[in-house]
Amino acid sequence: MIDLNWYPVWRRNFLVWKKLAIPSLLGNLADPMLYMLGLGYGLGGLLQAVDGVPYLNFLAAGTLAYSVMNSATFETLYSAFSRMHVQKTWEAILNTPLTLKDVLLGELFWATSKSLLSAVAIMLVIWALGLYDNFAMTLALLPVAVLTGFCFAGMGLAINAVSPNYDFFLYYFTLAITPMILLGGVFYPPSALPAWLAGIAAWLPLTHAINLARPLVLGHLPTDILLHGLALLAYGLAGFAAALVLTKRRLLK
């Protein structure tokens, strides 16, 4: 199971990305940055401290998790779908000694890598604006970003496997991603929600990611680290396992 056969697939995506790195980075970052700064300063100006910190500081970890989620999701939906369905890149690879597992692992790790890059960009802003409490602790955001990216990449690949076209992804955004952004604690603490809604929110992968990221930005150790970490891992692994079965059914039948 553990081999590096996936690496040429990862590298292929990296080399394509490298050609368009600057516009791609700007595209990836402009959106979360605008949310964070616009809402942080704009809305934050109207608010008292949230959870005892300025709103911008509160928002920083949410933005980081949201950005990581978006990165992995876009990469495994739109970009991976283009490679699989439109350009037939995966089929070309499957004619070589590489297997579908290698292709999907390459995609999984690539999407995770892009997530990590998004996280680093947000972290630069967090550091530059001094939105953190303890610098050493913010470094622990890196493994959190990897885990979160892995989680959403695995789930995204499963959705990709069953999608007939690009329009289908809208269902995933409407039914999964948007509820997570609104309920997962990006913009406000889930404690602000009614108990039943907060109960649902607690199960969402993005909530787990934010429960890890927010304390790290605000300078204290997260509680239930193992629970949140394992939850992210479980969502990602379940998604990836489903992606393996469903993509095999789609391409190798």
Partner 1 sequence: MSPLILRGLCKSYGGNLVVDGLDLELEPGRCHGLLGPNGAGKTTTLRLALGLIGTDAGSVDLLGYPMPAEAALARRKVGVVPQIDSLDPDFTVRENLQTYGRYFGMKGHEIEARIPYLLEFSGLAGKADAPINNLSGGMKRRLTLARALVNDPDLIFLDEPTTGLDPQARHLIWQGLRRLIGQGKTLLLTTHFMDEAERLCDVISVLDQGRVIVRGSPRELISEHIEPHVVEIYGEGLNEWKACASSYCRRCEQAGETLFCYTEAPDRVVAELAAMPGLRYLHRPANLEDVFLKLTGRDLRD
Task: Point out which residues bind partner 1 (CB under 8 A).
Answer: 8-9, 11-12, 15-16, 19, 87-89, 91-99, 252-253
Shortest CB 109 distance to partner 1, Å: 15
Q: Are the CB atoms for 89 and 9 separated by under 8 Å?
A: no
Shortest CB 161 distance to partner 1, Å: 17
Consecutive H or E run containing 1: none
Beta-bridge partners for 155: none
Rounded to whole angstroms, the Cα distance separating 17 from 25 reads 10
Angstrom CA distances, 26 to 21, 32, 34, 120, 121, stand at: 9, 10, 12, 13, 10
Residue 70 has phi, psi (to 5 degrees) of -60, -45
Looking at the Cβ atoms of 50 and 105, the one nearer to partner 1 is: 105
Shortest CB 76 distance to partner 1, Å: 18
Buried b vs exposed e over 169-178: b needs ≥16 C-beta within 10 Å?
beebbeebbe
Shortest CB 92 distance to partner 1, Å: 4
Looking at the Cβ atoms of 90 and 152, the one nearer to partner 1 is: 90
Looking at the Cβ atoms of 221 and 252, the one nearer to partner 1 is: 252
Distance of CA 224 to the CA centre of its chain: 20
Looking at the Cβ atoms of 182 and 244, the one nearer to partner 1 is: 244
Shortest CB 149 distance to partner 1, Å: 22
Looking at the Cβ atoms of 76 and 138, the one nearer to partner 1 is: 76
